[in-house]
């Protein structure tokens, strides 16, 4: 039996392994395809994922079915979302219509319902490398204020943006405080998109002023409690990858190949961080052939996996547009030695 925790830990320590660890996430329609093909209701267990990820409960689940929740749903922060059977929905009702926090109260991150299933989950997955999602920072601010308004605030009202991000960071740190006191697990994950397909959403200077200090707080708190730091950020993030590593990043995800030169990331940062992702989800996974998918994964294993510090994963959550034969080719090639 493979020692999954040791496998991932050695990879994070940049030790060359006989095989590259793998991971992936899917939307509900893609999940149903995999479960039907492999005749399972637990594809992570059936496919022997070395890494397991979960997060505290939320009022608005990541995938909220309108048949259960209605066509819209308000989350803990007061943001109104659409619901969907296909994806996570979209935020349509910001809770901060003005750049003013004086009448806003952040939700309580310590409520017991958020953590009620995590003890059993940690016990079930104790032989795997376990990571718990703790929240989003800039991305949460865009939900609360609206993307366009927040970008204007960055330019015209940076003090408001700074105060908003401090409040969100405190929510995350208080969440981690409960997690670290109650549960044993390996790492935390932050979800926070900073890039478009070709550039950052803001200047690197604004990112360093407003976001980097809060990441330093979050990462530092996790590292002080012996946890690894995993960060999901879509888009082109090469200009700030070094900054994220500087404040304590361990795993950079998902290094989308359509938005980044992933091999340049490996050359420049591969000794200092573990890169996770790299399988094309905009081209190869939905429109390529199974043979093309296998070939791409073999190349990633060979080049990105050299000297450790790499985890195979698609560049983003796999959607319903990926044919089952492509999903199976990916899974089989991921698991091949």
d(CA 321, CA 195): 23
* CATH class belonging to 4-59+94-335: alpha beta
- Using one digit for the tens of pLDDT, what is the confidence trace for 181-190? 999 999 999 9
d(CA 40, CA 195): 36
**79 C-beta neighbours (distance < 10 Å), count:** 21
Q: pLDDT category, 2, cuts 50, 70, 90?
A: confident
Mean pLDDT over 138-151 rounds to 98
pLDDT surpasses 60 at 96: yes
Long-range Cβ pairs for the range 91-97 (8 Å, 24+): 91/142, 91/143, 91/146, 94/143, 94/144, 94/145, 94/146, 94/149, 95/144, 96/144, 96/145, 96/164
Pairing, β 91-93 against β 80-82: antiparallel
User: What pLDDT is recorded for position 68?
Assistant: 95
User: What pLDDT is recorded for position 114?
Assistant: 98
Q: Identify whether the C-beta of residue 249 lies closer than 8 Å to the C-beta of residue 197.
A: no
**This prediction's pTM:** 0.97
User: Which residues of 96-237 form beta strands (DSSP E)?
Assistant: 129-135, 187-191, 228-232
User: What pLDDT is recorded for position 287?
Assistant: 96
Q: Tell me which residue has tokens 């320590």.
A: 13
Mean pLDDT over 56-79 rounds to 96
User: What pLDDT is recorded for position 14?
Assistant: 97
pLDDT surpasses 80 at 13: yes
CB-based burial label for 131 (10 Å; 0-12, 13-18, 19+):
buried
- Using one digit for the tens of pLDDT, what is the confidence trace for 298-325? 999 999 999 999 999 999 999 999 999 9
- Using one digit for the tens of pLDDT, what is the confidence trace for 226-246? 999 999 999 999 999 999 999
Pairing, β 274-279 against β 251-253: parallel
SS3 187: strand
d(CA 80, CA 17): 45
pLDDT surpasses 80 at 1: no
Long-range Cβ pairs for the range 144-151 (8 Å, 24+): 144/77, 144/78, 144/79, 144/94, 144/95, 144/96, 145/94, 145/96, 145/99, 146/91, 146/94, 149/94, 149/99, 151/201, 151/202
CB-based contacts of 327: which residues, under 8 Å, 6+ apart?
30, 33, 34, 37, 318
User: What pLDDT is recorded for position 41?
Assistant: 95
d(CA 231, CA 191): 6
- Using one digit for the tens of pLDDT, what is the confidence trace for 158-169? 999 999 999 999
- Using one digit for the tens of pLDDT, what is the confidence trace for 263-312? 999 999 999 999 999 999 999 999 999 999 999 999 999 999 999 999 99
- The tokens for 206 are 């604004």
How large a percentage of the chain has pLDDT more than 90? 99
User: What pLDDT is recorded for position 337?
Assistant: 75
Q: pLDDT category, 247, cuts 50, 70, 90?
A: very high
d(CA 241, CA 207): 12
Query: Across the chain, what does the average pLDDT equal?
Result: 97
Nearest one of 225, 301, 306, 308 to 273, comparing CA atoms = 308
Q: Tell me which residue has tokens 């093909």.
A: 37
d(CA 2, CA 313): 19
- Using one digit for the tens of pLDDT, what is the confidence trace for 194-222? 999 999 999 999 999 999 999 999 999 99
Q: Which helix (H) or strand (E) holds 149?
A: helix 147-156
């Amino acid at each position: 039996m493979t020692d999954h925790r040791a496998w991932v830990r050695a990879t994070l320590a940049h030790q060359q392994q006989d095989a590259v660890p793998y991971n992936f996430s899917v939307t509900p329609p893609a999940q149903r395809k995999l479960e039907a093909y492999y005749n399972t209701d637990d594809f992570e267990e059936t496919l022997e994922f070395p890494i397991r990820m979960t997060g505290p409960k939320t009022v608005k689940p990541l995938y909220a079915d309108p048949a259960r929740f209605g066509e819209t749903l308000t989350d803990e922060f007061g943001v109104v979302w659409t619901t969907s059977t296909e994806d996570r929905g979209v935020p349509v009702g910001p809770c901060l219509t003005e750049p003013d926090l004086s009448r806003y109260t952040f939700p309580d991150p310590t409520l017991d319902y958020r953590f009620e299933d995590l003890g059993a989950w940690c016990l079930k997955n104790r032989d795997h490398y376990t990571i718990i999602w703790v929240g989003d920072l800039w991305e949460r601010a865009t939900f609360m204020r609206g993307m366009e308004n927040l970008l204007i605030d960055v330019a015209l009202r940076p003090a408001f943006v700074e105060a908003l991000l401090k409040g969100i960071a405190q929510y995350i740190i208080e969440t981690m405080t409960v997690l670290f006191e109650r549960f044993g697990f390996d790492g935390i994950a932050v979800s926070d998109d900073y890039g478009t397909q070709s550039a950052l959403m803001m200047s690197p200077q604004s990112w360093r002023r407003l976001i980097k200090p809060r990441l330093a707080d979050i990462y530092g708190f996790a590292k002080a409690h012996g946890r690894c730091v995993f960060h999901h950020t879509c888009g082109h993030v090469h200009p700030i990858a070094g900054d994220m590593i500087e404040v304590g990043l361990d795993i950079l995800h998902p290094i989308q190949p359509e938005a980044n030169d992933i091999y340049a990331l490996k050359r420049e940062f591969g000794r200092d961080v573990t890169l996770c992702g790299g399988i094309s989800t905009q081209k190869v996974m939905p429109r390529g052939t199974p043979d093309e998918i296998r070939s791409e994964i073999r190349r990633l294993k060979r080049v990105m996996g050299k000297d450790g510090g790499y985890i195979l994963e698609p560049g983003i959550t796999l959607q319903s547009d990926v044919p089952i034969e492509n999903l199976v080719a990916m899974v089989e090639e991921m698991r091949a030695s």
